[in-house]
């Protein structure tokens, strides 16, 4: 994949983007999103989303869809607002003082910022995996069982055992931890901890899983395992993943969204983004001219 990316891009005539355009907030904000941001029967539909941290605007007029059972990756230079946008999708931004949101975000046609909507079930439907593995300082079993317990998904201990086992199996962790379920989750290796966090998220059977740079703290082998896992999970879940690794985006996702200075520049099929990007900013980014 990587080889193709380089070849095709280098065949194109070299258009030099000067620094001015890359850093020009107004020019970037004025740009329209290119590619195909919308799909039929989307799982999540975002329209004209603006996110503010107090006075400072972090996301400018972003509209895009996330289809059912697809893996959408979000790439872009540091500070461009990927995490902010991702966190808007399950209202994790609510916890940040001074953060507010404009526009419409819908999950299966339901407005997720509806004041009458309860965030607790929303977050059970749209789960999140964070950049740094963050298991609870509890046993491995309790980590995975926590979600089902608080949501009252199971009544009997045997059912809970089963949920824990299948979640760990789906996260590819079962064989490594089945003999030490009572030991603390914090005692696992970094990669195992991240898979434990994924198991914890899927234990509540969410419809959408948001992942914010889930592999950035992991070594290549652990990363490969998680990438495999994402491919498997995409059969049952809709996944939105933020990543800094373009190779990773190319490997795991079907569509890729490129953010720049808080603006969604381009959304396209992953292959198209990496072989023949429509927007010159996207091209400049994936060829490594900045970022």
Partner 1 sequence: MNKNTQRTIDLVNRNLAKRYRAEKRFRFYGLLSISFGLLCLVLLFTDIIGKGHSAFLQTYVALDVHFDADVLGIDNIDDETQLTVANYDGVIRKALLERFSDVRSRRDKRQLYALVSNGAGFDLQDVFRERPEQWLGKTETLWLLADDDVDTYVKSRTASGEAFTGRLSENQQRWVEALIADERIEKRFNTIFFTSGDSREPELAGIRGAIMGSLFTLMVTLVLSFPIGVAAAVYLEEYAPKNKWTDLIEVNINNLAAVPSIIFGLLGLAIFINFFEMPRSIPLVGGIVLTLMTLPTIIISSRASIKAVPPSIREAALGIGASKMQMILHHVLPLAMPGMLTGAIIGMAQALGETAPLLMIGMVAFIVDIPGGATDPATVLPVQIFLWSDSPERAFVERTSAAIMVLLAFLIVMNTLAVWLRKRLERRW
The site map against Mg ion for 66-105 (x = CB under 5 A) is -----------------x----------------------
Tokens 């107090």 correspond to 54
Contacting residues for 192 by C-beta, under 8 A, at least 6 apart: 173, 176, 177, 222
H, E, C per residue of 75-89: ECCCCCCHHHHHHHC
Q: Which does residue 58 bind out of ligand ATP, Mg ion, partner 1, none, counting CB within 5 to 8 angstroms by kind?
A: ligand ATP
Does 95 participate in binding ligand ATP (rule CB under 6 A)?
no
The site map against ligand ATP for 57-76 (x = CB under 6 A) is -x-----------------x
Query: Whose CA is closest to 208, among 65, 75, 104, 8?
Result: 65
**What's the start-to-end Cα distance of the chain, in Å?**
20
Measured CA to CA, the distance from residue 161 to residue 50 in angstroms comes to 42
> Residues 55, 61, 270, 113: what is their CA dihedral angle, to the nearest 10 degrees?
80
Query: Whose CA is closest to 78, among 141, 117, 131, 145?
Result: 131
Q: Report in angstroms how near the CB of residue 200 gets to ligand ATP at its nearest.
A: 22
Q: Which stretch binds partner 1 (CB under 8 A): 48-56, 123-131, 227-235, 247-255?
A: 123-131
The site map against ligand ATP for 148-187 (x = CB under 6 A) is ----------------------------------------
Q: Report in angstroms how near the CB of residue 110 gets to Mg ion at its nearest.
A: 27
Does 130 participate in binding partner 1 (rule CB under 8 A)?
yes
The site map against partner 1 for 146-185 (x = CB under 8 A) is xx--xx----------------------------------
* Strand boundaries in 30-166, DSSP class E: 34-35, 42-53, 56-67, 71-75, 99-107, 110-111, 126-129
Q: Report in angstroms how near the CB of residue 82 gets to Mg ion at its nearest.
A: 5
> Residues 159, 162, 168, 170: what is their CA dihedral angle, to the nearest 10 degrees?
-110
Interface residues toward Mg ion, by CB under 5 A: 83
Give the interface with partner 1 as residue ranges (CB under 8 A): 90, 92, 95, 97, 120-124, 127-130, 132, 134-137, 146-147, 150-151, 186, 197, 200-201, 204
């Amino acid at each position: 994949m990587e080889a193709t990316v380089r070849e095709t891009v280098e065949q194109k005539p070299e258009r030099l983007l000067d620094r001015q355009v890359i850093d020009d907030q107004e020019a970037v904000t004025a740009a329209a999103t290119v590619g195909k941001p919308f799909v039929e029967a989307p799982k999540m539909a975002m329209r004209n989303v603006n996110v503010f941290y107090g006075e400072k605007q972090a996301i400018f007029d972003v509209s895009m869809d996330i289809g059912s059972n697809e893996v959408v990756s979000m790439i872009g230079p540091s500070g461009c607002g990927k995490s902010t946008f991702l966190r808007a999708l399950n209202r994790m931004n609510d916890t940040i003082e001074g953060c507010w949101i404009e526009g419409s975000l819908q999950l299966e046609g339901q407005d997720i910022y509806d004041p009458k909507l309860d965030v607790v079930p929303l977050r059970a439907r749209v789960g999140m995996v964070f950049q740094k593995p963050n298991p609870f300082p509890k046993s491995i079993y309790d980590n995975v069982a926590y979600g089902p317990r608080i949501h009252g998904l199971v009544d009997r201990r045997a059912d809970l055992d089963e949920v824990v086992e299948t979640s760990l199996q789906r996260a590819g962790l079962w064989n490594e931890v089945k003999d030490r379920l009572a030991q603390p989750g914090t005692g696992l290796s970094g990669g195992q901890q991240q898979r434990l966090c994924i198991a914890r998220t899927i234990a509540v059977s969410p419809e959408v899983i948001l992942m914010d740079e889930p592999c950035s703290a992991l070594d290549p082998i652990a990363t490969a395992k998680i990438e495999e896992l994402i491919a498997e999970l995409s059969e049952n879940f809709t996944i939105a993943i933020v990543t800094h690794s373009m190779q990773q985006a190319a490997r795991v996702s079907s569509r890729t969204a490129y953010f720049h200075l808080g603006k969604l520049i381009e959304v396209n099929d992953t292959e198209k983004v990496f072989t023949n990007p429509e927007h010159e900013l996207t091209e400049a980014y994936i060829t490594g001219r900045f970022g």
